[in-house]
Every structure is written in structure tokens, then in C-alpha cells.
Chain A
């Protein structure tokens, strides 16, 4: 049966042809293609890795930025708080100073007024006493013209003196 008995001629040519095809492909065909494909897949792998690294560093950068922003916010708040505290303190101190000054001025004014009053009172009193002495001199001179009058006057003085004593 020729179907299952290998024919020598065909075997010979098959070995020759396949050998030639294999030689051509092993030399010029498949290694070129597979090398290029491998090179590309390596390149893709590297690119993916680089992209991943870039993504990570970008993430880190964004994190840093966020942290910086947070920090700045905190600092700003602190500065603002310090400024407002200082302002408040200044205001309070100014108020205090002003009120103290005002009080001092007031006191001085009062004291001066009191002194002036005292002085005026004293002058008034001395003038009054001089006047009353003068008036009294005149009255006394007139009263002393009659005896009766003298007695009445004495009584009156006594009474007055007593009253002023009581008072």
C-alpha cells in the first residue's frame, strides 16, 4: 500500500526543502522578528514602569504641596491670631493709659478747683471778716450810744455764741 510506505524520493526532497527553509528562517527570518518583538515588549515594560514611577513621584509631589498648603494655612491663622491679640492688647493698654491719664487730669483739676475754692473761700472769709468788723464797729458805735442798747447787745452776743457753740 503506497499510502503508508514513505517514498524515498519525496523523503529526500522533503528533507532538502525543509532544511533549506529552516536555514533561511533561522538565519534571516524568525530571529529578526522575535528579537524585534521582544525588544518592543521590553520597551513597553520599561515605559510602564517609568510611567508608574512618574505617577508615584507626582503623587508624592502633590502630597508635599498639600502639606505645604496646610502648613501655610496654620501659620497664617497663627499670625492672624497673634496680630489680633497684639492689637487687642494695644487697645486695652491704650484705653487703660487714657483712662488713667483722664483720671489723673480729673484729679488734678479737682485738686486745683478745691485749692482755688479754698483760696477764694479764705479771701472771701477774710474780706467778710474785715467787712463784718467794719460793720460791727459801726453798729457797735451806734448801739453803744445808749445803755439799754448795750445790754441788749451783750445778750444777743451771748446767745449767738451759745448757738454757734451748739452748732
Chain B
């Protein structure tokens, strides 16, 4: 029973990157299509400027930004300006509105396409980057999602503080979260980490819910959702680093012995082949965590955006093709949205499970042979 569950999960983990590659290819095809379409349309003599720019469209949605773009009404951008915070020989704080449309403010501007740090704030004089800790779209999304999560979980914890758990069944928010928490703690953390699981379960549960809420909010297409947070490599990198620290700071001496002086023939560790491989393994494990979450969530966003883009790309092909493709696109979009709900959960689950397994591997029980 348990073994079969792990096999299924392992299959999911193996298959998801394949899916994301396929999506990446689809994405490329969509872009090519867009180019071909716009060229065809251009040859046909229709105005080029009204054609959708796939590059800008996709990156505008999945990349980080200094303001939170909500919609465009009649060519006018409706967006929430966010604070820019720069440390460059002193603190510079101003609204991102000041830098709109390539404006220079306080000696800074947003680098244009073609520059090494395109889309980032640079010094207007030489195009180099100051230390930039602006509240970007992703930081703002992270803050909103985190506040939401903190409120939810602390309300849930408050229920347990206020009620006698031996006399009452959990209701409301506690009833919503308890099955999830129990499932993650008992079936994932306890099984994978081993007897010392209670020390690690706060971190692993926090990681699970943190990823889950950011994944789910990423699917919501409008403010305060829609920021591609877990599909950003900086976010997944931070998560992976936390897991790396949890694994290596608390690993016991058997773990370090297995890395530095493993149970293999002497010639494999005298010329340190095995220790080197093991040390590389220490870093590849969190690296795979980082890439897996990043690639899957990014792929999900690109897939959804590409599906929706079909509606706008086919406008020039006439009402019949555009109408029928729009119906298909909407139906496929619904399917993808539901799939993304599943992926949002699976990726949070997989990250937690693999982190638990890595922590468990760092606590080998000394077996007596």
C-alpha cells in the first residue's frame, strides 16, 4: 500500500519534467506560429502593430515587474505602482510610477531590451545595477499570500487553543486544515524523516503550505493572484536553500561518515571519487528541488497563457476560425486550470516529500550488522 503510493509519486516526479519540456516546446511552437501568423498578416497588408507580441505577452505575465499590471483599457495601462527600494550609497525609495515609459528618475531608469540587465533598474549614467531590494510584483504577491496563509493557519491554531480537542470535533477552519496537516505530517513527514520527525515538521509543514498557497494564488488570474511566484527561480532557490540547511545542519555523524568516508573499497575513497560524488550529491538534491518546482509552475503558467493567446492570435484569420478556435481554447483552458490545481498540490506535496526524504537520509539509524 505505502510502497505503491511511493511508486506512483516517483512516476509523477519523473513524468512532470517531461511534461514541462513538452510544454516548453509547445510554447516555442506558439511563438513561431505567432511570428508566422504576423508575417502572413503583414504580407496580406493588414496593420502590423495590432498583432499581439507573444514575447512581451508571455514575459509580461510570468516575469517579475516593478509594478503590478492589472489590465489595459483602450491602450491605457491600469496597474498598481509598487515601491522601488535601492541601496546605492544611501537608501533610495520612490514609486515605480516615476520610471514608467523609460523615464529617468533620481539617476535611475529601467534598462531597455538589448541591455545586459533588461527590465531591471539600472543607473542612468552607465547602465550598471545598484543593490535593488524593491517591492516587486512577486515580493508583493509573496507578502499578500503570506499574510493570507498566516491568518488562516493562526486562526486554525487558535481553534485548537480555544477548544478541548478531546471533547469536540474540529469545525470551520480547523476542519479544513486538520486533514491536510495530519496527512502531510503522518503520511509524508513521519514516514520519510523517521523517529525525529517532530523537530522538522514545523519547517516541512510551513514549506508545504507556503508553496501550496503561492501555487494556488498563481492560478487566480487577477489581483491579488496571478503573480508567478513559485515559477520564479529566486523563490524556489530560497526554498531549496532552506531544505539544504535543514538537511546539512542537523545531519548526524553517520550521515557525514557516509559522505566523507563511505563503506566502499579503499581505492574508491583513497582517490576521493566517492566523497566527491557524495558532496556533489549534497548540492544536486536541493538543486533538483529548485528546478522541479520552478519549471513545473513556470510551464503551467506558460501553457495557460499560450492557450488563451490562441484566441487573440487567430483574430486575423476570420470569424469562423477565430470563433471555433476560441471555443476550443476556452475548453482547453478550463482543462488546464483544473490540471494546474492538481499540479499546485502535487508540487507542494513533492517538495515536502523530497525534503522529508533528504532530511531522513541525513539521519541514518545506526544499523547493527
Contact = CB atoms under 8 A, between A and B. Distances in A.
Contact of B234 (A6, A20, A32, A40): A6
Contact of A28 (B154, B198, B209): B154
A7 interface: yes
Contacts of A26: 202-203, 206
A3 B62 contact: yes
Nearest to A43: B166
Contacts of B241: 15
B131 interface: yes
Contact of B120 (A2, A4, A24): A2
Interface string B129-152: 001111110110011001001100
B134 A9 contact: yes
Interface string A8-43: 111111110110111011101111111011011001
Interface string B175-186: 001100110010
A14 B298 contact: no
Contact of A2 (B119, B178, B298): B119
Contacts of B203: 22, 26
A13 B209 CA distance: 18
A5 interface: yes
B133 A17 contact: no
Interface residues of B, number: 53
Contacts of B256: none
A69 B355 CA distance: 65
B261 interface: no
B165 interface: yes
A5 B185 CA distance: 33
Contacts of A6: 233-234, 237
B160 interface: yes
A164 to B, nearest CB: 129
Contact of A3 (B63, B165, B209): B63
A29 B166 contact: no
B118 A2 contact: yes
Nearest to B203: A22
Interface in B277-305: 298
A5 B233 contact: yes
A9 B157 contact: no
B238 interface: yes
B258 interface: no
Interface residues of A, number: 34
A43 B241 CA distance: 38
Nearest to B165: A36
Interface of A is mostly: helix
B110 interface: no
Contacts of A24: 150, 154
Interface string B222-245: 000000000011110111011000
A101 B308 CA distance: 128
A21 B134 contact: no
Nearest to B235: A14
A37 B166 CA distance: 9
B209 to A, nearest CB: 8
Nearest to A35: B160
Given A13-B142, A43-B166, A36 B233 contact: no
A33 B178 contact: yes
A17 to B, nearest CB: 5
B134 A25 contact: no
A31 B160 CA distance: 11
B124 interface: no
Q: Which of A3, A9, A11, A24 has the most CB of B within 10 A?
A: A9
Interface of B: 62-64, 85, 117-120, 131-136, 138-139, 142-143, 146, 149-150, 153-154, 156-157, 160-161, 165-166, 174, 177-178, 181-182, 185, 198, 201-203, 205-206, 209-210, 232-235, 237-239, 241-242, 298
Top 10 closest pairs, chain A to chain B, by CB = A6-B234, A26-B202, A10-B234, A36-B160, A14-B238, A36-B165, A13-B139, A32-B157, A11-B234, A9-B133
Given A7-B132, A18-B239, A40-B165, 20 more contacts: A2-B117, A5-B233, A7-B136, A7-B234, A9-B132, A10-B138, A10-B139, A10-B234, A13-B133, A13-B142, A14-B235, A18-B238, A20-B146, A28-B154, A29-B153, A29-B157, A30-B202, A33-B177, A33-B178, A34-B198
17 contacts: A3-B298, A4-B233, A8-B234, A9-B132, A10-B64, A13-B135, A13-B142, A17-B143, A18-B206, A21-B210, A22-B203, A26-B203, A26-B206, A29-B156, A30-B153, A30-B201, A36-B165
